Structure 1
């Protein structure tokens, strides 16, 4: 009668079909429990080797990406699997190593020389798209994108040649576009942000705000000032404002005659039109009212005078805003002998070339032009998740949503995603000192498991030699 040392259908690989000769009637055969203990120890040690190998992989990834922008380290979580455990018997165990993601652990935020770089202070993510190729229609080539939505903390964005904001990993920043006319943000559509780098068209002046003080001392000479405006072609057009004939009227008030005209205005049979109005001041020097003079084509509302000169064959409506009646700001009348102009602003501009982009802490992206004009083009929202540590890791510091993480919630900056730090980047959250400590521990554990395998092999060999 003979026995073979085996576990199920698999013999121990280093002692193939080890034959145990049967002892005489005075001895018992090698017990099944003893065989399970030796082979259980071998299997447990092999699982330990595999688990520590997984830990080595995570540690090596972390150390290699210690300087990768927005990288989130992966720790190792060990889990014990027990086959059998009673008060009198403990079966062989096993260990597995699961990744322990650290997406909620923020890396250090440092200042960057890149003005378009952004870092997130909080648990939010940038929404990004990855390029899929190009599409050419009618000789025009456009970028196409993968339908999969990605998320990242790598905010080292720069403007590429096509006007897209792309980070160092090649991900295209998604955002909400602004209406080019009204500047209203469309929060219903999330798409890669593309900025036109063409020239800014001229903006004709439609409103001029004037702050000035007229003298109280009677004068027979008109007091004048000039205001620069722009027509629809971006040409500079000067408006001449003349205040004359101050007279005292009932109630201690003073009335002036205002004449507004432009040398290049062709609204009066090819000649400039004089838009006239009566300007009345209260006894305390504040503006009382502005009314069009008899026969004038100007109109007035409160402290505003509307005129309509013609430039380049087109009528241009311009509002001259002198402030609210009874206010100490805008147009006033105080002691003095000359007109004192405090400030003039107008909303027109000539054409200008694209200069640069700027991003504020609310995620507003503004295109700036050489003519001083600025235009809101998009807004950067942030995505947040119920369980960010459960996001699925992808290449290039990208994440995708999983069932465990929950769907993304997209909100404006300042919501659940956190705040933005502009001109900065988030560094990797890996701590090198901790990784070196984990590396030493994993190395020691791996070595210890190999010693168990060696010892078990020696025990099996001793057992084989004993019964031969």
Structure 2
């Protein structure tokens, strides 16, 4: 190779180390860039075709080594639309190409990123700090059905969540086998825990109603069953007050023969007219009789379908279901473990959004409801490091990377967090020192080769 070969080799070394320093400087500059993946430098030796015993070390080339599979630290930000990917994978994002009035126009190209500092823009799109727009499936919050393809641009609806009429009520609890009503506490004795039809102007057991003039008597002979708010077809709230009254028991064969004596029987009433007076109906029975076996288990019914009218407001077709209604002994003679839930709600405004570990974006509304809004698209690649880098922490698919596969692939999403750069400052400074020394050594080779050439020229003189 000779002196000239040594100079050429040293020049290739200078170029390679300059390239390495450029990568190091870029890594250090992006040490605080969200989702940044550092670029390491590799070196390749070039040798001439020569006999084995005359081969030389040769020159060098430098190349980049991607670190896409090396995750940065997950840091909490407290911003609900920030998303960190914990594990392998990439967000699917789109790029805006222009605007049509106030509406952005997007290209059909898909890009991939780990940068999750997304925020809602005025149009409801989620855009990150580099200007890339998040893709995924948009979900109708009213029905819970997916309304777009799995990798369309996500647009969070700003419209109200429409009101929903109550169609189902779930009631659970334990009715005491010996209800200690005010009447029972005062009178005691046989049948005192039962409702006493003879003390009413209008028999509530037979008619299924309690008139206003009998209200005090009814309150003394029944137990409070709790209250609930249900909603009609326009979302208007209806407050329902309920009371249980025991009407028969096997222990008293003459208590109410019309209901038999083999099972305990209860009736559930609700206040249908809170302002009723005189002979106007104030309480109305819900459905039919509730019967309990000697074991304390309810034998019928499991569901009651009824129209509920309170103070002139009617909610139609409500299914009252009693999944765990029992009649066990209770020391205090009161209803325990009472739980009432229903599926209706009024209209509500979107207050905030949150991201689940499975990539589901949910919205919290002013009516207390939480509804799904979108499903974030996350993809996996067979060869992550073969992706082509773009500005802004994005990547493009290449032939070497393979096709993207939709799915988390074992990764999870962390809402309110970001993935930091995977650059290690201390490690980069160490690389920089080594690179500087290698660069200086190559310049020394060139100086030495130059001196040797000068000595050769001096021979001729």
Q: TM-score, normalised by structure 1?
A: 0.78
Contact 2:142–2:371 (CA<8 Å) still a contact in 1? no
SS at structure 1 position matched to 2:455: helix
2:131 matched residue in structure 1: 170
Question: Are residues 392 and 466 of structure 1, via their aligned partners in 2, closer, same or farther at CA, if it must alter by over 3 Å?
Answer: same
Aligned positions, number: 403
Match of 2:164 among 181, 190, 203: 203
Higher relative contact order (CA 8 A, sep 6+): 2
- 1:359 and 1:192 mapped to 2: Cα distance? 16
1:11 matched residue in structure 2: none
Unaligned 5+ runs, structure 2: 179-192, 197-217, 250-258, 275-281
- Residue 143 (structure 1) aligned with residue 142 (structure 2): no
2:61 matched residue in structure 1: 96
SS at structure 1 position matched to 2:358: coil
Match of 1:349 among 345, 356, 374: 345
- 1:405 and 1:465 mapped to 2: Cα distance? 57
Contact 1:322–1:331 (CA<8 Å) still a contact in 2? no
The structure that is helix-richer by fraction is 2
1:322 matched residue in structure 2: 322
Question: Are residues 213 and 272 of structure 1, via their aligned partners in 2, closer, same or farther at CA, if it must alter by over 3 Å?
Answer: closer
- Residue 467 (structure 1) aligned with residue 428 (structure 2): no
Question: Are residues 189 and 382 of structure 1, via their aligned partners in 2, closer, same or farther at CA, if it must alter by over 3 Å?
Answer: closer
1:254-283 per-position Cα deviation (integer Å, ceiling 9, x unaligned)? 22344557449xxxxxx9986541221212
Structure 1 position 461, deviation (Å): 3.3
- 1:263 and 1:233 mapped to 2: Cα distance? 21
Match of 1:284 among 295, 304, 308: 295
SS at structure 1 position matched to 2:64: strand
1:157-198 per-position Cα deviation (integer Å, ceiling 9, x unaligned)? 222222222222222222222243432457952122211233
Match of 1:214 among 166, 175, 178: 175
Contact 1:251–1:283 (CA<8 Å) still a contact in 2? no
Match of 2:358 among 340, 362, 387: 362
1:439-460 per-position Cα deviation (integer Å, ceiling 9, x unaligned)? 1111111122222223323333
2:435 matched residue in structure 1: 442
Structure 1 position 76, deviation (Å): 0.7
1:88-138 per-position Cα deviation (integer Å, ceiling 9, x unaligned)? 4235722100001111111122222223322222221111112222234xx
- Residue 69 (structure 1) aligned with residue 34 (structure 2): yes
Structure 1 position 65, deviation (Å): 0.7
Pairs within 5 Å for 1:55-454: 55-90=20-55, 93-136=58-101, 141-185=102-146, 188-215=149-176, 216=178, 217-220=193-196, 221=218, 223=222, 225=225, 226-244=227-245, 246-248=247-249, 249-250=259-260, 252-259=262-269, 262-263=272-273, 276-290=287-301, 303-309=302-308, 316-323=316-323, 329-330=324-325, 332=327, 334-335=329-330, 339=335, 342-411=338-407, 413=408, 415-416=409-410, 418-454=411-447
Structure 1 position 421, deviation (Å): 2.8
1:298 matched residue in structure 2: none
Unaligned 5+ runs, structure 1: 1-35, 265-270, 291-302, 324-328
SS at structure 1 position matched to 2:71: coil
Contact 2:137–2:151 (CA<8 Å) still a contact in 1? yes
- 1:272 and 1:256 mapped to 2: Cα distance? 15
- 2:444 and 2:405 mapped to 1: Cα distance? 51
- 2:119 and 2:108 mapped to 1: Cα distance? 22
Structure 1 position 56, deviation (Å): 1.0
- 2:171 and 2:369 mapped to 1: Cα distance? 20
- 1:234 and 1:337 mapped to 2: Cα distance? 37
RMSD: 2.8
Deviates more, 1:399-408 or 1:73-82: 399-408
Structure 1 position 372, deviation (Å): 0.4
Question: Are residues 272 and 174 of structure 1, via their aligned partners in 2, closer, same or farther at CA, if it must alter by over 3 Å?
Answer: farther
Contact 2:16–2:61 (CA<8 Å) still a contact in 1? yes
Deviates more, 1:389-398 or 1:188-197: 188-197
Contact 2:103–2:123 (CA<8 Å) still a contact in 1? no
